[in-house]
Structure 1
Amino acid sequence: MASVMGLLEERETAARVRAEELRAEAERVLAELAEAEAVLERRVIARVEVAEALAPVPGAADAPGEGPRQAVAGVSPQAKTTPVTGSVVPRWHPGMPVEALAADYRRIIELVEDEGGGGEGVLARELAARLGLEAVPAKVEGVRSKAKRLAERGWLEALPTGRFTPRQPTGTDRAADAEPSGRGGGS
């Protein structure tokens, strides 16, 4: 007859093996997810680029000397700033207007930029409350996920404390300070 300790050790070993198997499976799935998200982002960008290239340029037919090559190169301002609900958050780059984001992402950026906490940043819980959402974990995590996505794409800064602050200007941003940044008109 096996001892109780021996049985418990066998079960512990089996549980440890199962946990390792699941950990390896999770890593594989996360790698596949990252790859799939990269493909999705490339396809969304391609679709947006094609839509911009095919968009009619206002007044292109009226402008003398403007040939088809120039009309294709022109981009409608509306095509650039019309986000698709549920679309991927584009990477921020100088001159990228905040209007390129879906409304819920724009609102998060506005709230973070309007934050008056002396540069400490805003917690996801505070953002959820300011958005008028219930302070339940599901809603807070949804807001945190969106804010993290904005931080990953360069629109915000995520601090190690879990707070979010406005993106810090880069050298190219400082050179373009004479122009509005497109993220709120330069305030």
Structure 2
Amino acid sequence: MASVMGLLEERETAARVRVEELQAEADRILAELGAAEVVLERRVIARAELGEALAVGGDAVVAPVAEVQDPAPTVAGERGAPVAGSAASALTVGS
């Protein structure tokens, strides 16, 4: 018969493995979110630039565009890291 301490150690190990799996999944999702945010930013800028280019003498009506903040530069190996203050940083596990 297994000891109580041994059973607790097995459960702790299983919980640790689950936490590591979820952390890896969260990291993957945050990286994907970062890439999607970059694409969105580029689309917003492209639409604003096109609106400005099509405006003739200020007569054309251009929909207002929300200002997009420049993303913080990433360090090599930290691709997709959340930017402080962004929605992604609020999603980090353990915060």
Q: State the TM-score bracket (shorter-chain normalisation).
A: 0.5 to 0.7
Q: 1:22/1:88 Cα in 2 relative to 1: closer, same or farther (>3 Å)?
A: farther
RMSD: 2.6
Amino acid in the other structure paired with 1:89: V
Give, in whole Å, the separation in 1 of the partners of 2:6 and 2:68. 54
Give, in whole Å, the separation in 2 of the partners of 1:55 and 1:18. 55
Q: How does 1:68-79 map to 2 (within 5 A)?
A: 79=62
Stretches of structure 2 that go unaligned for 5 or more consecutive residues are: 71-84, 87-95
Match of 1:11 in 2: 11
Aligned residues: 73
TM-score by length of 1: 0.35
Please list the CA deviations of residues 23-82 of structure 1 after superposition, one character each: whole Å capped at 9, or x if unmatched: 1101101100000000000001001111111112148xxxxxxxxxxxxxxxx8x85xx6
Give, in whole Å, the separation in 2 of the partners of 1:32 and 1:55. 35
Give, in whole Å, the separation in 1 of the partners of 2:46 and 2:58. 22
Q: How does 1:21-170 map to 2 (within 5 A)?
A: 21-58=21-58, 79=62, 83-84=64-65, 87=66, 89-91=68-70, 148=85
Higher relative contact order (CA 8 A, sep 6+): 2
Identity among equivalent pairs (%): 67
Give, in whole Å, the separation in 2 of the partners of 1:90 and 1:37. 11
Q: Which has the greater radius of gyration? A: 1
Structure 1 residue 90 displacement after superposition: 4.2
Find the residue that maps to 1:45 and give its secondary structure.
helix
Q: Which stretches of structure 1, 4 residues or more, deviate above 3 A after TM superposition?
A: none
Structure 1 residue 88 displacement after superposition: 5.0
Match of 1:160 in 2: none
